[in-house]
A and B are shown apart, each in its own frame.
Chain A
Amino acid sequence: MTSFEVEVFSNPYLQEGATDLHAIVAVRGQGSGGAQGGGEVPAEAAELLILDSSGSMAGRSLEAAKHAASVWVDTLPDGVLFAIVAGSHVAQRVFPYPNAPVRIVRMEPGARAEAKRAVARVVASGGTAMSSWLMLADQIFASVPPGVRKHAILLTDGKNESEPPGNLGRAIAVVQGHFQCDVRGVGDRWTVEEARQIATAMLGSVGLIPDPSGIALDFQALTRAAMAKGVAQASLRVWSPQGAELLFVRQVAPSIEDLTLRRTSVNALTGDYPTGAWGAEEREYHLAVRVPSRPLGTEQLVARVQLVVGGQVEASGLVTARWSADPSLTTPVSPAVAHYSGQTELASAIREGLAAKAVGDEATATTKLGRAVRLAQETGNAEATSRLRRVVEIDSERGTVRLRRDASRLDEMALDTASTKTTRVTR
């Protein structure tokens, strides 16, 4: 079983007349379900692999993807429900074979051998229409009983160019909340924005695999991580008092995801934000609440933050405010809040800088990426700093940056893909 604890980091002291309180809420899951203890298998997992089989994959990419799919099949423990989809301008079920009486099967040695044979038969042809891939995945997962954790990996190498632009968004709206989906792009011809659109909505991650040889290892890591999730579906529940305004709810670690618009109302004062599956891991959330100012000395609860699994509250944290006339109490900004505010700004600066560069606005790109370099250094994000160095030249003496002429598209994509990854605050 997974148990949870919630910890709140904030400076509760507000000066006279102040209304906004920021807090970082850390949620830790401990213990696990998953594959532990003598290969005991969690029967409550369903795993789906969606492979891009469009014409552009032909050759080394497809061979590597097929090899990775075989490794993925080997990685899945017996008992897990699984299926494989090949996607081009249409989606086709690779395994169980299209004429099978079921849409998804339980892993066992026979299924494993047959699934590998099915993968070997996949050929590359046609275009790319990802909406059809997601719709087929949704159909397959629909045959899985509720309460089973449903997770997909989507691998692509190109742009979603074989359908009208609105299709993908509409499909996402249909399937959102039904399963989680990690998106992986191989090579440099796919677009980070499209992949992110899917992953963000489907509570998954975006990853860049520069070379096809890296696919197998990535699939293995993703599958192991998915298997370790002991809780299929959890929600972050946030209460704020009457008359308060919840300005935003944002996951800030391990990566930045704005959850503000994902709210489903529990009652007038309480909303749930989906977090997807949860294992032995820690995630951190930044929330900002605006409350009417109270007289000096007043204490006030501004938020209750809870982790909810299956309608049950597993852990709670309290965010309080206290108005004070003492500047030594009200002036300090919580280090956690400052850190993650900086990381959020860093992510925006990177993405805005790259977007400006893509449309040829070098002045804006230089300014934004320069800002990103400073923020990465200030918040100790060494990974971001090293990725930024591949796109801009840093003149540390003058504190300025210059766009690198020799930056590759892959470097820019790596920077973009990883822009939402954050480093944790040191406590």
Chain B
Amino acid sequence: MNGHPDMNGQEAIPLYGTPPATVEPVVAALDVCTRCQGTIAPDGYCLECGAPRMSARDHFRESPTEWVGGVCDRGLVHGRNEDALAICAVAPPTSHPEAGAVPQAGALHLGPPGTGVIVVCDGVSTSPDSDAASLAAARSAVQAAERVLAQATVESNRSGVLRGALLAGAQAARAAVAALGGEGEEAPSCTYVACAVEPGIVVAAWLGDSRVYWIPDGDAPVRLTTDHSWASELVARGVEVAEAERAPGAHAITRWVGADAPVDDVPSVQLAPTGPGWVLVCSDGLWNYCSPAQELAALLRELTRAGDAERAPERAAAVSPDVGGGVGLGCRTAADLAGDLVTWANAQGGRDNVTVALARIDAVVPMSEVPTTLAEDRREEVR
């Protein structure tokens, strides 16, 4: 039975509650080798390189468009993949006066044709079914965000819409995880990081230690999120970042999505990029090997060049080095590049599940055309 909208426009839960959501199980096995793209034989191993078959839950790729995509992978050590990833790309609203739907002469409006929403959830290993929880959370969150974006046809404050979408996502993630049942210690739980990207605006919301970085082509990279973790608490108390991340219990998260989680506000940040760059969303499976924004930016640049040269040399040569300053989309998709970062993390040891998603902003509306509210919202340093 449908509930009735309450005062806040949300669906009220009926007296008897609603049946728990069923999570579509991802058990399909992949026929293509995730290591070398070879064929998996009926005996379960690649015919070329001998790598074992992975299930579609162990390794999957989301690539709704060229400019936004990601890869979620079990890593090398863990027996199952408790990370999850969901991505959608929503067409731009039909009417969008403030963000410059009719670019003026000379204005650089080449940004993503629409809005990308990325959600990464990292299941908390100590809770059962955290692989199911993280996947249910990520998928529900993206669906909820997509609904909010679809309803916003004409909106005076785009940043408000995006933030609303991500908060609706967090709420949907909570509901999806709660629907899996369990109480207290037994309650499945996961981290939540969501990021919405469109021309000139990046908004992120999060609970836990999955991260969002902004890596502009020509400027200093920054991390947009602050971990809800013991390490962060230590940093807040004056401990050096590197030391805090190595401290015992550094990875213990202080906020999360789950039935046992304190229900409180979901923090969010926003940024109005003034040039082209990458938004990178990842779980700790990546940043454990490369935490500082500067290092991550350098790694991304190196992998972009190496990947273009190795996998499509003729196309790489054809791509003008001016496009994105040589570090843009190049000749491969965002999901391809995210896959390279996952491969890199596994080459460093793959000690944890690893999820990486990227969204490309090729160029943005010049500051003069950005609505003033957004320009004021822009945060220089978010750490």
Interface residues, chain A, with chain B CB atoms under 8 Å away: 240-244, 269, 291, 295-302, 304, 316, 318, 320
Contact = CB atoms under 8 A, between A and B. Distances in A.
Interface in B29-54: 36, 41, 43, 45-52
Contacts of A304: 41, 43, 45
B91 interface: no
Given A296-B76, A299-B51, A300-B50, 17 more contacts: A240-B50, A241-B46, A241-B48, A241-B49, A242-B48, A242-B49, A244-B50, A269-B48, A295-B76, A295-B347, A296-B349, A298-B350, A300-B51, A300-B52, A301-B43, A301-B45, A318-B43
Given A241-B49, A243-B49, A295 B350 contact: yes
A318 B76 contact: no
Contacts of B77: 296-297
25 contacts: A241-B49, A241-B50, A242-B48, A242-B49, A269-B47, A269-B48, A291-B50, A295-B76, A295-B349, A295-B350, A296-B76, A296-B77, A296-B349, A297-B76, A297-B351, A299-B52, A300-B49, A300-B50, A300-B51, A300-B52, A301-B45, A301-B51, A304-B41, A304-B43, A304-B45
B355 interface: no
B346 interface: yes
Nearest to A317: B43
A302 B52 CA distance: 11
Interface string B335-377: 0000000000011011100000000000000000000000000
A133 to B, nearest CB: 45
Contacts of A302: 50
B217 to A, nearest CB: 32
Q: Which 6 A-B pairs have the closest CB atoms?
A: A301-B50, A241-B50, A301-B45, A297-B76, A297-B77, A299-B52
Contacts of A244: 50
Tell which of B49, B77, B351 has the most Cβ of chain A within 10 Å: B49
A296 B346 CA distance: 10
A236 to B, nearest CB: 17
Interface in B67-90: 75-77
Nearest to B351: A297
Contacts of B41: 304
Name the prevailing secondary structure of the A interface residues. Answer: loop
A316 B43 contact: yes
B316 to A, nearest CB: 24
Nearest to B43: A318
Name the prevailing secondary structure of the B interface residues. Answer: loop
Contacts of B350: 295, 297-298
Nearest to B42: A316
A304 B52 CA distance: 13
Contacts of A300: 49-52
A304 B46 CA distance: 11
Interface residues of B, number: 19
A300 B77 CA distance: 13
A298 B48 CA distance: 16
A424 B48 CA distance: 34
Contacts of A301: 43, 45-46, 50-52
Tell which of B50, B75, B77, B347 has the most Cβ of chain A within 10 Å: B50
Nearest to B36: A242
A316 B44 CA distance: 13
Given A241-B50, A242-B36, A298 B76 contact: yes
B285 to A, nearest CB: 13
B229 to A, nearest CB: 24
A296 B348 CA distance: 10
A295 B45 contact: no
A243 B347 CA distance: 17
B238 to A, nearest CB: 35
Contacts of A297: 75-77, 349-351
Interface string B266-300: 00000000000000000000000000000000000
Nearest to A269: B48
Contacts of B349: 295-297
B264 to A, nearest CB: 37
B346 A295 contact: yes
Contacts of B45: 301, 304, 318, 320
B50 to A, nearest CB: 4
Tell which of A240, A243, A297 has the most Cβ of chain B within 10 Å: A297
B261 to A, nearest CB: 30
A293 B43 CA distance: 22
Contacts of A243: 49
B31 to A, nearest CB: 16
Contacts of A269: 47-48
Contacts of B76: 295-298
Contacts of B52: 299-301
A305 to B, nearest CB: 11
Contacts of B346: 295
Contacts of A296: 76-77, 349
A243 B350 CA distance: 22
A10 to B, nearest CB: 14
A291 B50 CA distance: 10
Contacts of B36: 242
Contacts of B50: 240-242, 244, 291, 300-302
A140 B10 CA distance: 92
Contacts of A316: 43
A296 B75 CA distance: 11
A330 to B, nearest CB: 15
Contacts of B347: 295
Nearest to B347: A295
Contacts of B75: 297
A242 B52 CA distance: 14
A299 B47 CA distance: 14
Contacts of A318: 43, 45
Nearest to B41: A304
A301 B47 CA distance: 9
Nearest to A304: B43
Nearest to B79: A297
A320 B50 CA distance: 9
B353 to A, nearest CB: 12
Nearest to A267: B47
